[in-house]
Chain A
Amino acid sequence: MSWDIALILGIDGIANGAVYLLAGLGLVLIFSVTRVVFVPFGDVAAFAALSLAAFEAGKLPPTVGLVAMLALLAVAAEVWTLLHRGEAARIPRAVLGWGLLPLLPCALAWGLTSIVGAGGQKLPQGLSIVTAILLVLPITPLVARVALQPLADASVLVLLIASLAVHFLLSGLGLLFFGPEGFRTSPLASGALELPGGLNISGQVILMVAAALVLSGLFFLAFERTVAGKALRATAVNRVGARLVGIRPARTALLAYGCASLLAGLIGVLVAPVNTMYYDSGFLIGLKAFVAAIIGGLTSYPLTAVGALAVGVVESFGSFFSGALKDVIVFSLLIPVLMLRSAFASHSEEETEEIDA
């Protein structure tokens, strides 16, 4: 292997790592606030990519149907709970929040395709991207409301199994709504950066890495400087304690899911031009981000970032040495990491009786 091959592989790996970084941040965010390993994270990213592809084809993304269906389920769940609690007066607000709010991006998408794209002209790319991200934004909170919030206080294992079930549900719905074929969108950034030595770095790669850096910076600032970010951190540190000082776990969980959905949407539009996205290709992205998150112990953002880049680089070199064993190599990373972690981690007691409300 010569230097330039190593360099190309390294750059390719960092570009992949940037995607895993964003996904890893989302996973850690959700896990630390709600204790849910959110398996369907990648599915949401894939839906964003497929929505963008639909906009490029001048069609209304099938995501609209998906969101509408989930909103219906969420409203039903919310109304049922409120009736159960005898708080019927709050029903209109719930319908507004869970039913109508998620449909706003759908209306926007409809407007975009039927008014702007009426004459068969191409939709403006920026607008399509923003709408695609907005479209998937409600998916994670809605799914969480329907499937995960009713058992928010269950054990981590139960939550993991529920989130796995949600993944299978979402990928099944993905097949139903998007069909079995893969799509690729036109690149967001054309052109390439010429390095001395005849090496090219494509604009798309630079965009991906830059987006990852900027977004993780923004998240850092939000966590350190804003009240909402501090509430998220407080819930992550101690749910009971956070409740005692007046932070509502359900509200912060909703915020965490929303942020994660936003990240997933961004990942979707970033990878759509470089990878052929299928209804189920999100799962592998999520799984590799999970490896990164495990390296970060599912709590540390900086370690997750390091882990994500490591996963990306190992994957790219692995595919060079043996294409068939690429994924085996990546997932084998987990073994030494887990051994090291269990050797050095201070064993805290299992969080069994943390919450009883």
Chain B
Amino acid sequence: MNAFNRRGLISAAAATALGIAALTPAQAQSQELKVGLSVSLSGPNSSLGVPYAKGMQAALAYRPEIGGRKVRLIVLDDGSDPTASGRNARKLVDEEKVDILMGSSGVPATIAISQVGRESRTPMIGLSPISLKPEESDWTVTVAQPPTLMIDAVVERMKRDGIKTVAFIGFTDAWGDLVYGALTKAAEPLGIKVLTNERYARADASVAGQVLKIVAARPDAVMTGGAGTPGALPYLALAERGFKGKVYGQHGLINPDFVRVAGASANGSILPTGPVIVAEQLPDGSPTKKVSLDFRAAFEKTNGTPSTDAFSAYSFDGYLVFADAAARVLAAKGGEPGTPAFRQALRDAIMASKEVVGTHGVYSFKPGSLYGVDQRARVLVQVDNGKWKLAP
């Protein structure tokens, strides 16, 4: 059934794009704010891209007007191809004259869009954790948490749990490198020794050999550096070998399909995530609780299904950051939407964001840094019979 929903969504998105292209009398819409979103609605990345698009629709329904101006959302599909996402961004800038670019579901695609944004002097809000050279990031911010922030939380938790030695098993690709790098960097000062650096490919069928090596090294705990469904493999193999220690994960595993495949083997594992995943369980004083619950309601109202993932919430946050900045620019009469002056003012306003409350965290951006979140953007959750429970 999933495929049918997705196809429906794609055709809806295509129809929207076509419809907008068909009626472009520039005058009639000159006062509108235009948001350009490019995500993967088809191809292998679509399991992330579709929630991103749905989250943005929910955000638009949540705040359809900013400072008295209507907001128009233009969604384009990049077919899981970073080159296509660069093309999409150019189309959004040149043909639609969008005021802000947003995207995407993959890191390379996000970087491609940010380059177009920089070149065309259009502000860009990234929705996935990218890293850019400081001189290339002057038009870009991202609402995702930096991976080190998340993994530091896990390592601190290991320290609290009295872990002295930890074994690592992760993907052979950039994600595995990133997690391993962050783990070793955080573990050393806390006196935790990283014993192994085992790797497997996303498409591998078995990690029995790697897990044997880990069990033979007798670590207190295991840290996994996988993502999505293939990330379940070490959990299953460790359970099969009867590993009794704790298994820690990271936010790449916060995904319903991971829990489905890993089943009971993931029980008790501790993972970091944005607080929106466990919004209902957050204490009442938590800064992001209200927005998170609003997001849940808006998402269910717009899309007819409850939101279970972290990705749609990133879109929602990206929109909130944009809305906050745009409202400030409009209030200060910083120019008409659709003009270069407005885009410049919008970019300056985004870079000056202070304490914008979103679902994943509280955002304060400043020039020269991509990320705008702090400790409030992470919580640790525990897998409990297929559900995420806020870790005590």
Contacts and interface: CB of A to CB of B under 8 A. Distances in A.
Given A176-B3, A275-B206, A276-B229, A324 B261 contact: no
B206 A12 contact: yes
B46 interface: yes
Given A180-B46, A323-B210, A275 B229 contact: no
Given A179-B2, A180-B46, A181-B47, A281 B200 contact: no
Contacts of A179: 2-3
Given A179-B2, A276-B230, A323 B200 contact: yes
B201 interface: yes
A327 B230 contact: no
Given A5-B216, A182-B229, A182-B257, A320 B201 contact: no
A316 interface: yes
A284 B203 contact: yes
- Residue with the highest number of chain B CB atoms closer than 10 Å, among A183, A284, A326: A326
B204 interface: yes
Given A182-B257, A276-B261, A320 B199 contact: no
B205 interface: yes
A226 to B, nearest CB: 34
A9 interface: yes
Contacts of A202: 240
The B interface, classified by DSSP as helix, strand, loop or mixed, is helix
Contacts of B257: 181-182
A327 B201 contact: yes
A323 B207 contact: yes
A8 B212 contact: yes
A323 B198 contact: yes
B46 to A, nearest CB: 7
Interface string A8-32: 1100100010000000000000000
A278 B216 CA distance: 30
B209 A182 contact: no
B282 interface: no
Given A9-B209, A182-B261, A316-B208, A323 B44 contact: no
Interface string A150-183: 0000000000000000000000000111011111
Interface in A243-294: 271, 274-276, 278, 280-281, 284-285
Interface string B338-361: 000000000000000000000000
A11 to B, nearest CB: 9
Contact of A320 (B210, B230, B261): B210
Contacts of B204: 326
A184 interface: yes
B167 interface: no
The size class of the interface chain A forms with chain B is 35 or more
Nearest to B46: A180
Nearest to B44: A180
A115 to B, nearest CB: 21
A9 B172 CA distance: 21
B208 A280 contact: no
B229 A319 contact: no
A184 B230 CA distance: 11
A41 interface: no
A12 B203 CA distance: 18
A5 B261 contact: no
A166 to B, nearest CB: 20
Interface in A185-221: 202
B233 interface: yes
Contact of B205 (A181, A275, A317, A318): A275
B172 A320 contact: no
A271 B205 CA distance: 9
Interface in A294-337: 316-321, 323-324, 326-327
A319 B199 CA distance: 9
Contacts of B199: 323-324
A323 B180 CA distance: 15
A177 B210 CA distance: 33
A184 B261 contact: yes
A128 to B, nearest CB: 18
Contacts of A319: 200, 206-210
Interface string B184-207: 000000000000001111011111
B83 to A, nearest CB: 20
B51 to A, nearest CB: 13
Interface of A: 2, 5, 8-9, 12, 16, 175-177, 179-184, 202, 271, 274-276, 278, 280-281, 284-285, 316-321, 323-324, 326-327
Given A177-B3, A184-B263, A278-B203, 9 more contacts: A2-B216, A179-B3, A181-B229, A271-B205, A276-B229, A276-B230, A285-B205, A319-B206, A324-B172
- Nearest 9 A/B pairs, CB to CB: A319-B209, A320-B209, A275-B205, A182-B229, A323-B210, A324-B199, A12-B208, A323-B199, A324-B172
20 contacts: A2-B216, A12-B206, A12-B209, A16-B206, A177-B3, A181-B229, A182-B257, A271-B205, A274-B206, A275-B206, A276-B205, A276-B236, A284-B205, A285-B205, A316-B208, A316-B209, A319-B200, A319-B208, A323-B200, A324-B200
